A = this chain, B = another copy of it.
């Protein structure tokens, strides 16, 4: 049986209220000696507050939920680590949920997190449009990262990457290296994320006086399996000298396909990634990519969320992160 506030109160000959005050540093009006006696006792008995009980009364759990499509995707792995580190520094815990990019799964997680009394939620990038009605009904403060979300009262912040510009930079870089027929690989065609990136991709072409061949555009998912599949299909159809991928995993998949067909990277076909995951420089042929400051974005998201939670009169923040091209070996 763990020691409780009651045990300490009994041994110290005071009430539980006094113990509670001391242990929560709300002890401005408590005598020096009682204070010390209680502190000593707590240390001695190895007292750890029961955060369940505390949460029940304070109605705050200091737990944050993070919903990502799949932690296995290195982009989300890094994001989650960044969020968790930041939250912990501020005295919060996180609960991770994998939605697999399925709307109903995300909704189930949302309800679940609500039931567990999380104080706030991070909705990480996904092609799924968040369930606005549910979010509003739950009323839990949340931050949206690269998601298409309405401005609800409980929206604490939006932390987005300027993907249009990122895609444009990537394509422009490729064009500057002499490429004229560039394939484009991205996530779900209907998602805002992909639409914006495609816009950037097209803008870069326009600026260079080039046209985008629609046959070279392939949308599906951000995963490596789609990258491989799409590249294989592309290879069967037209010709091109570079692939502009909208995620590093897509780029890895594309590279696998290219190799399978005997193409060398970058000699026969250049490949650009997007995200700059920690793996990118470790690949046998170090991946050229677009850096989107993953770690920083996670930190910012959590800080915005906690700021919103703790500020009695919270302001909504909108962050837009700029990207930079990282030229390595694949392009």
| A interface with B by C-beta (< 8 Å) | 2, 46, 48-53, 55-56, 61, 70-72, 74, 77-78, 80-81, 84-85, 93-96, 98, 111-112, 114-117, 137, 224, 252-253, 255-256, 259, 265, 278-279, 282-285
Contact = CB atoms under 8 A, between A and B. Distances in A.
Given A115-B48, A284-B259, A84 B98 contact: yes
A71 B81 contact: yes
A96 B116 contact: no
B53 A116 contact: no
Contacts of A55: 52
Contact of A283 (B2, B53, B284): B284
A14 B116 CA distance: 26
Oligomer copy total: 2
A51 B113 CA distance: 10
Nearest to A281: B256
B282 A117 contact: no
Contacts of A49: 115
**3 closest Cβ contacts across the A-B interface?**
A284-B284, A48-B115, A52-B117
Interface centre among A55, A93, A111, A284 (most CB of B within 10 A): A284
